[in-house]
C-alpha cells in the first residue's frame, strides 16, 4: 500500500507524454470483493518527444493480461508502473485486463463501495487504482463504458455522457445481471472519469437552454433522501441560467447527473456529466439543514457545474496548474453567490464571508510550513495541494484580473480563453495571456509579467499606507509600501501588482471627491495599482483632512496596515459607503482591543467608545440584520493568532471570552430587542434576508444566554430551551442548542440528549451534534477542559467511527482545527490525541489523515510550553516508519 520513498515532482520537469491515448473502451464486471476491468485503448506514439517506453500508472491492481493488437506482449512491473519497452511506432490497440477490490478500498480514491453501492473518485490520481493508464491530465481520451452488475442490488448503472443502451444479460447462473453502456463524446482526462452503481432514486427535471436545446437534469440519492434534493436541483438550474447569462456558457450534454454519497473525502467532484457529491454538500431540508448549509450547497452545486467549462472543456496541463481550474471556478461560484444574493448589502455580506474564510484558512497557510505559491513548484503528493492557497487565493488572483480589466473586459478575456483553448489541457500562463490579449493597453496587459508573480511567489504581501494632509495646499499624499515576507524556499521576493481600491471620507463621514495630481477625472472611488516597493499618490483639491478608506471590497489578498486611529475607524464604521470596509473597521476596533490585552498580558476591558459604536450598529434603523450579525461577530481566534509573532492560544481565548461576556452584558437590552425584532413567523425560506434575521436572532440569543451565566438569570436559558424544542427549522433549533452548549448552561445536557434522540437516524444531523460538542469553547481559565474530556468520551460513542470522513471530521477536526483553546493544552493532552488520531486515520484514509496533520503547520509560532510539546507530538508521528506519502509530506515540511 505504501511507497517506500516519496519522490518530489517538480514543475520545471514537465514533459509531454510519450504516448497519447485517443479512445478508451472500459468494461466493468462489478463485484464488491473483486471487480474485473477490461480496458481497450487506441494508443498513438507522440512523435514530438524522444522515443521511449510506454509507462502506465497502476496501484493496488491485480494484472491479468496485456495484449497489443490482440497479441501477448512482454512487459515489466516496477513500483507503480507497468512498462512496455517495445511498443509499436504505429498506432496500436492496447488491451488490459485487471481486477481491483472496491469493498476493501477505505481510501475513497479509485473505485470503492459506500452503503452497498459503487462510486469512483479519480481526481487527482485515482484512475490508476481502477486500471493501468496514462493517468495525467494532459492525456485526453474519448470514453465508452459498459457496466455489468447484479440487477437487484445495483439497479442504477451510471457513467459519463449519454446512455447508449441498457438491458438484461443472459448469463449462466441464476443471478440476474444487467448492463448499461455509456458514451461521452468529449475527450477528457482520466481524472474526470466516473461510474456509479447502486440502488438509487432520482429527482428529474427537464430544462431548456437559451438556444432552445433540451436537457435532462437528475439528482440521484439513496431511497428516502429524495425530498432533500429540491434545493440542489434549484441550485443546479440557477447555475445553468447564470453561466449562460454572465459568460455565455451553455450546458453541452443532453444529460447532467448529480449523485450523493455518504463517504467522500471532499465536498464534491466535477466528473463530466456525472458530478459526485458528499451528501453534506447536497442534501437539505428545513428540518435538517441550516441556512449556512443551504447556501453552501448552492455554491458547491454551482462550483461543480461551472467546472464543466472551467476545468472540463479546458483542463490543466499538469497538476501544478490546478488553480487554473480551481481558482477560476471558485471565483465563478463566488460571483454567482453574490449575484444570487441580490441587494448590495447582501452582496457585501457574501464578500465578507469569503474574505473571513480566506483569512481563517489561507493566511495561516501562507505563513506556515505548507506555504506555497498559487502555482506550486513541487509536491510529493498532489492530494496535499487542494489547498486554500490554490482555491481561495487563486480566486482572489482571478478577481484581481477582473478589477484590472473591468467586468466587461474580463468577460471578453474569458471568451478569448475558450476560443483559443477549448478541448485543450493548458497552463495558468495561457489563461493570463488570454485575459491580457483581450484587453490590450489595460492596467493588466501593460504589466502582465509582474502581475504573474501572484502565481510564483508564496506569502501574503504586507501593504503599509500612510497619508499626509497639507491643509494649505489642499493636497493629500498617500504613500503605499509593500513587502512580502520570506516563505519556505523563497527568501527574496519581487514587488507584486496590487490593486488598491480606495475612497476618501471627511471627518464627518461625507464622500470626498478624488482627483489625482495630473489627472482630469474626478471620482468617488478609484483603483490605484501599486507595483513598486513604494509609491506615492497626490490627491488635489482635498478640502479637509480625509479619512482614507483603503482596499475597498478587499481588492487584493494582502495584509493592510493603514495606521488608522480608533477615531478614524469609528468614522468608517459609521459612514463608509463601502460595506466591506465598514465591517472591516468594526473588526479592527475589536482586534485592537483584543490584541492590546493579549500583548500586555492584562485582562481585557472594553471601553465605552467601542461599546457605544457596536450598540449603534445593533440599533441602526437601516442596516440589514445579516450585516449587523457579521459586524457584531468578533474576529476568529485563528485570525487573531495570525496577528501575533508568538501565539498563546489560551490568552487569545481568554480575551475573546471576556469581550463576549462584556458585550453580552453591556448591550443586554439591545440584544433582547434584536432577538424579538427578528422572529420570523412565516414559513421557512433560506433567502438572504430571512437567513440574516435568523443569524442575528441566534447571535442575540447566544449573548443573552451567555449573560445569564454571569447574572444567574434562568429566564433566557429557559427561553432558549423552549425555542430549541419548538423550532420549526434547523437554523433556529441548532442556534438555540449551541447558545445553551456554548454557555455551558445546565439545560445544555438535556437539550443535547433530546437532539440526539430526535435525529439519531439522520447521519448528517448527527454530524452536527458531534461537531457542536467538539467546537464548544472551553471556559477560559478552567484547567480541566470540559470540551476536551467530552470529545475523548464521544470517541467511544456507538455512533462514532473513523471510517466515515464526515463523522471523523465532525468530532476530531472540530476540536483540533476549530477549537484552539480546547486543543492547545498546557498538559499536551491535545497534541497526544492529535498524534493518535493522525496515525489511526492514516491506516484507513491517508487524505483525511494528512488534512488533520496540517493542524500543526504553525507549531513554530506557539508560545511555550505549547511549542515544545507540539514538536514532540509531530516527532512522534514522524517516527512511524510506514506513514502514507500524504502524511509524510506534511510532517516533513513541518519539521523542515
Ligand atoms: N475538484 C473538486 C474537488 C476534489 C478534489 C480532489 C478530490 O479527491 C482527491 C475530490 C474532489 C472540486 O474542486 O470541487
Ligand atoms: Zn473545484
Residue 140 CA to residue 16 CA, distance in Å, equals 12
Asked if 337 and 299 touch (Cβ cutoff 8 Å), the reply is yes
Complete DSSP assignment for 584-597: HHHHHHHHHHHHHH
Dist. CA 666–CA 655, nearest whole Å: 16
Ligand 1 binding pocket includes 326 (Cβ within 6 Å):
yes
Whole-structure pTM over 0.95, yes or no? yes
**Predicted confidence (pLDDT) per residue in 609-624, tens digit:** 999 999 999 999 999 9
- ipTM over 0.95 threshold: yes
- What ligand 1 atom has the least distance to the C-alpha of 264? 10
For ligand 1, the distance from its centroid to the CA atom of residue 89, given in whole angstroms, is: 36
Neighbour-count burial of 587, counting CB atoms closer than 10 A to its CB (0-12 exposed, 13-18 middle, 19+ buried): buried
Does 323 sit in the ligand 1 pocket, CB within 6 Å? no
Tell me which residue has its CA closest to atom 6 in ligand 1: 123
Q: Three-state SS across 474-518?
A: CEEEEEEEEECCCECCECCCCCCCEEEEEEEECCCCCEECECECC
Question: Is 257:220 a contact under the CB 8 Å cutoff?
Answer: yes
Give the span between the Cα atoms of 691 and 379, in whole angstroms. 41
Determine whether the shortest distance from the Cβ of 298 to ligand 1 is under 6 A.
no
How far away, in angstroms, is 269 Cα from ligand 1 center? Answer: 5
Positions marked catalytic: 304
CB 846 within 8 A of CB 805: no
User: Which residue out of 386, 387, 886 has the highest number of ligand 1 atoms within 8 Å of its CB and is therefore the one to mutate?
Assistant: 386
Which of 279, 244, 240, 241 lies closest to 259, judged by CA? 279
Give the three cell numbers for residue 416. 478569448
CB 49 within 8 A of CB 134: no
Question: Which letter, b or e, does each residue of 69-79 get, where b requires 16 or more Cβ atoms within 10 Å of its Cβ?
Answer: eeeebebeeee
Non-local (6+) Cβ contacts of 689 within 8 A are 346, 624, 625, 626
- Helix axis angle for 649-666 and 579-600, nearest 10°, is 120
Distance (Å) from CA 381 to ligand 1 centroid: 14
What does the block give as the cell for 149? 452488475
Distances (CA, A) of 467 to 509, 524, 541, 770: 17, 18, 15, 50
Q: Which whole-number Å values give the CA distances from 41 to 25, 45, 90, 274, 606, in the listed order?
A: 6, 13, 14, 22, 70
CA-nearest residue, atom 8 of ligand 1: 123
Q: Which residue's CA lies nearest to atom 11 of ligand 1? A: 269
Residue 589: φ, ψ to 5°: -60, -45
Q: Does ligand 1 come within 6 angstroms of the Cβ of 123?
A: yes
Q: How far apart are CA 156 and CA 147, in angstroms?
A: 10
Closest CA to 436 of 416, 466, 459: 416
Ligand 1 atom 3: residue of nearest CA: 269
Query: What 3-state class would DSSP assign to 277?
Result: strand
pLDDT, position 172 = 62
Q: Are 594 and 652 in contact (CB under 8 A)?
A: yes
Neighbouring C-alpha atoms within 13 Å toward the C-beta of 189: 28
**Rounded to whole angstroms, what are the CA distances from 6 to 115, 424, 885, 887, 892?**
33, 30, 6, 11, 11
Whether the CB of 121 sits within 6 Å of ligand 1: yes
User: What separation in Å is there between the alpha carbon of 266 and the centre of ligand 1?
Assistant: 6
- Whole-number Å distance between alpha carbons of 405 and 401: 6
pLDDT at residue 591, as a whole number: 98
Residue 889: what pLDDT? 98
- Give average pLDDT by consecutive 10-residue segment, the chain, 896 residues: 70 98 98 98 97 98 98 97 97 98 98 99 98 98 98 98 96 81 98 99 96 96 98 98 98 98 99 99 99 98 99 99 99 98 96 98 98 98 98 99 98 99 99 99 98 98 98 98 97 98 98 98 98 98 98 98 98 98 98 98 98 98 98 98 98 98 98 98 97 98 98 98 98 98 98 98 99 96 91 98 98 98 97 98 98 98 98 98 98 98
Whether 486 contacts 529, CB under 8 Å = no
Cα separation of the two ends of the chain: 26
Q: Identify any residues that bridge with 121 across adjacent strands, giving them in sequence order.
A: 110
SS3 768: helix
Distance CA 177, CA 155 (A): 9
Helices (H), 178-321: 230-247, 291-306
Amino acid at each position: 500500500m505504501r511507497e517506500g520513498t516519496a519522490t518530489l515532482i517538480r514543475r520545471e520537469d514537465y514533459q509531454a507524454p510519450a504516448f497519447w491515448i485517443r479512445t478508451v473502451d472500459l468494461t466493468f464486471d462489478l463485484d464488491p470483493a473483486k471487480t474485473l476491468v477490461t480496458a481497450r485503448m487506441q494508443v498513438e506514439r507522440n512523435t514530438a518527444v524522444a522515443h521511449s517506453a510506454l509507462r502506465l500508472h497502476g496501484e493496488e491492481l491485480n494484472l491479468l493480461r496485456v495484449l497489443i493488437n490482440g497479441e501477448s506482449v512482454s512487459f515489466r512491473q516496477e513500483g507503480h508502473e507497468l512498462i512496455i519497452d517495445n511498443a509499436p511506432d504505429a498506432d496500436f490497440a492496447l488491451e488490459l485486463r485487471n481486477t481491483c477490490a472496491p469493498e476493501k478500498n477505505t481510501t475513497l480514491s479509485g473505485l470503492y463501495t459506500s452503503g452497498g453501492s459503487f462510486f469512483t473518485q479519480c481526481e487527482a490520481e485515482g484512475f490508476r487504482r481502477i486500471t493501468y493508464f496514462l493517468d495525467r491530465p494532459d492525456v485526453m481520451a474519448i470514453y465508452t463504458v459498459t457496466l455489468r452488475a447484479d440487477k437487484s442490488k445495483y439497479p442504477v448503472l451510471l457513467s459519463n455522457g449519454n446512455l447508449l443502451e441498457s438491458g438484461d444479460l443472459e448469463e449462466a447462473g441464476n443471478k440476474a445481471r444487467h448492463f448499461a453502456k455509456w458514451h461521452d463524446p468529449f475527450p477528457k482526462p482520466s481524472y474526470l472519469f466516473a461510474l456509479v452503481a447502486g440502488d438509487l432514486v432520482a429527482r428529474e427535471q427537464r430544462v431548456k437552454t437559451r438556444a432552445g436545446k433540451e436537457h435532462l437534469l437528475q439528482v440521484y440519492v439513496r431511497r428516502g433522501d429524495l425530498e432533500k434534493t429540491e434545493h440542489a436541483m434549484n441550485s443546479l438550474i440557477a447555475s445553468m441560467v447564470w453561466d449562460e447569462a454572465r459568460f455565455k456558457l451553455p450546458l453541452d450534454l443532453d444529460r447532467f447527473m448529480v449523485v450523493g454519497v455518504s463517504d467522500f473525502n471532499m465536498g464534491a467532484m466535477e466528473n463530466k456529466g456525472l458530478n459526485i457529491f458528499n451528501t453534506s454538500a447536497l442534501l437539505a431540508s428545513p428540518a435538517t439543514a441550516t441556512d449556512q448549509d443551504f447556501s453552501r450547497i448552492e455554491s458547491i452545486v454551482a462550483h461543480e457545474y461551472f467546472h464543466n467549462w472551467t476545468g472540463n472543456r479546458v483542463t490543466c496541463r499538469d497538476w501544478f496548474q490546478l488553480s487554473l481550474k480551481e481558482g477560476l471556478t471558485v471565483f465563478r461560484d463566488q460571483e454567482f453567490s453574490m449575484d444570487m444574493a441580490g441587494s448590495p448589502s447582501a452582496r457585501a455580506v457574501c464578500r465578507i464571508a469569503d474574505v473571513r474564510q480566506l483569512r481563517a484558512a489561507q493566511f495561516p497557510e501562507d505563513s506556515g510550513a505548507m506555504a506555497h505559491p498559487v502555482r506550486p513548484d513541487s509536491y510529493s503528493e498532489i492530494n496535499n495541494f487542494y489547498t486554500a492557497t490554490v482555491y481561495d487565493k487563486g480566486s482572489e488572483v482571478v478577481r484581481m484580473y477582473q478589477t484590472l480589466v473591468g467586468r466587461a473586459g474580463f468577460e471578453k478575456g474569458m471568451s478569448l480563453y475558450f476560443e483559443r483553448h477549448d478541448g485543450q489541457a493548458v497552463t495558468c500562463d495561457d489563461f493570463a495571456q488570454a485575459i491580457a490579449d483581450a484587453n490590450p493597453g489595460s492596467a493588466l496587459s501593460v504589466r502582465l509579467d509582474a502581475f504573474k508573480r501572484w502565481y510564483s511567489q508564496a506569502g501574503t504581501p504586507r501593504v503599509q499606507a500612510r497619508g499626509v494632509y497639507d491643509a494649505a495646499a489642499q493636497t493629500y499624499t498617500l504613500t503605499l509600501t509593500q513587502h512580502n515576507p520570506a516563505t519556505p524556499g523563497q527568501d527574496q521576493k519581487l514587488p507584486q501588482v496590487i490593486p488598491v481600491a480606495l475612497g476618501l471620507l471627511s471627518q464627518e463621514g461625507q464622500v470626498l471627491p478624488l482627483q489625482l495630481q495630473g489627472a482630469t477625472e474626478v471620482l468617488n472611488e478609484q483603483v490605484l495599482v501599486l507595483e513598486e516597493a513604494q509609491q506615492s499618490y497626490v490627491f488635489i483639491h482635498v478640502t479637509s483632512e480625509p479619512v482614507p478608506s483603503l482596499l475597498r471590497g478587499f481588492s487584493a489578498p494582502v495584509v493592510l496596515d493603514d495606521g488608522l486611529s480608533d477615531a478614524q475607524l469609528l468614522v468608517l464604521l459609521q459612514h463608509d459607503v463601502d460595506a466591506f470596509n465598514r465591517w472591516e473597521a468594526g473588526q479592527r476596533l475589536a482586534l485592537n482591543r483584543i490584541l492590546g490585552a493579549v500583548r500586555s498580558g492584562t485582562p481585557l476591558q472594553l471601553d465605552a467608545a467601542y461599546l457605544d459604536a457596536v450598540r449603534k450598529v445593533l440599533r441602526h434603523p437601516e442596516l440589514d440584520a445579516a450585516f449587523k450579525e457579521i459586524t457584531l461577530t468578533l474576529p476568529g481566534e485563528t485570525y487573531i493568532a495570525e496577528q501575533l509573532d508568538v501565539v498563546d492560544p489560551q490568552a487569545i481565548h481568554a480575551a475573546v471570552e471576556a469581550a463576549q461576556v462584556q458585550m453580552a452584558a453591556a448591550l443586554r437590552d439591545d440584544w433582547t430587542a434584536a432577538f424579538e425584532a427578528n422572529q420570523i413567523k412565516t414559513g421557512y425560506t433560506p433567502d438572504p434576508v430571512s437567513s440574516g434575521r435568523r443569524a442575528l436572532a441566534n447571535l442575540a440569543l447566544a449573548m443573552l444566554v451567555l449573560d445569564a451565566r454571569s447574572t444567574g438569570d434562568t429566564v433566557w436559558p429557559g427561553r432558549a430551551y423552549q425555542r430549541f424544542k419548538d423550532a420549526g427549522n434547523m437554523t433556529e433549533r441548532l442556534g438555540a442548542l449551541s447558545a445553551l452548549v456554548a454557555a455551558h448552561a445546565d439545560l445544555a445536557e438535556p437539550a443535547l440528549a433530546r437532539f440526539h434522540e430526535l435525529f439519531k437516524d439522520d447521519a448528517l444531523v448527527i454530524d452536527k451534534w458531534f461537531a457542536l460538542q467538539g467546537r464548544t469553547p472551553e471556559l477560559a481559565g478552567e484547567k480541566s477542559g470540559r470540551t476536551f474530556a467530552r470529545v475523548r468520551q464521544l470517541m467511544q460513542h456507538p455512533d462514532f467511527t473513523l471510517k466515515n470522513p464526515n463523522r471523523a471530521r465532525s468530532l476530531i477536526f472540530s476540536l483540533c482545527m476549530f477549537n484552539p483553546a480546547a486543543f492547545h493544552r498546557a498538559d499536551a493532552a491535545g497534541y497526544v490525541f492529535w498524534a493518535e488520531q493522525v496515525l489511526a486515520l492514516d491506516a484507513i484514509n491517508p487524505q483525511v489523515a494528512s488534512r488533520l496533520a496540517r493542524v500543526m503547520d504553525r507549531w513554530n509560532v506557539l508560545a511555550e510550553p505549547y511549542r515544545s510539546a507540539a514538536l514532540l507530538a509531530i516527532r512522534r508521528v514522524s517516527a512511524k516508519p510506514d506513514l502514507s506519502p500524504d502524511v509524510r509530506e506534511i510532517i516533513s515540511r513541518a519539521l523542515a
